[in-house]
């Protein structure tokens, strides 16, 4: 009797561990509370809700991408990072947002090291 109870507890523990790992994998990474909302106005990708799940839509082309639900936030981050490498320019504590002709649209002054570190790590800027 004791062995069967131990097996049930072990299966439950393994199942919970796998569920937590899958949940963490599907979660988006942490974003800066001040800088990210400002950048969202310029990032050309948005998430739309639909009956079958979530869709990533390009504001420029209107093309909709329908990744599996498990990876939708990871794919959105990937697209945002690609956009950031091409259209963001970091000079000291000033983050410039560029258009397709590489002309500055606007700039954001980063207030502290936390914001600077987040921009560098999230968008992989130097």
Assigned token pair, 124: 């992989």
Query: How far is it, in rounded angstroms, from Cα 55 to Cα 46?
Result: 8
Q: Which domain holds residue 14?
A: 2-122
Q: What are the tens digits of pLDDT across the range 86-103? A: 999 999 999 999 999 999
Assign 123 a pLDDT band (cuts: 50, 70, 90): very high
pTM for this entry:
0.79
Query: How far is it, in rounded angstroms, from Cα 95 to Cα 80?
Result: 15
Tell me how many domains the chain contains.
Answer: 1
Q: What are the tens digits of pLDDT across the range 6-17? A: 899 999 999 999
Task: Show the CA angle centred on residue 87, arms to residues 104 and 69, nearest 5°.
Answer: 140
- Give me the helices (H) in the chain, please: 2-26, 35-40, 72-87, 113-122
pLDDT at 1: 62
Q: Given strand 53-58, what is the order of strands in its sheet?
A: 45-50, 53-58, 64-65
């Amino acid at each position: 009797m004791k062995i069967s109870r131990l097996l049930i507890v072990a299966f439950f523990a393994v199942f919970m561990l796998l569920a937590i790992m899958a949940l963490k994998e599907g979660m988006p990474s942490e974003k800066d509370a001040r800088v990210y909302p400002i950048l969202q106005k310029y990032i050309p990708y948005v998430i739309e809700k639909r009956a079958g799940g979530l869709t990533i839509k390009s504001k420029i082309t209107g093309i909709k991408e329908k990744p599996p639900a498990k990876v939708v936030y990871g794919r959105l981050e990937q697209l945002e990072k690609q956009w950031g490498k091409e259209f963001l320019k970091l000079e000291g504590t000033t983050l410039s947002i560029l258009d397709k002709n590489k002309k500055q649209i606007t700039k954001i002054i980063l207030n502290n090291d936390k914001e600077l570190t987040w921009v560098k790590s999230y968008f992989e800027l130097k």
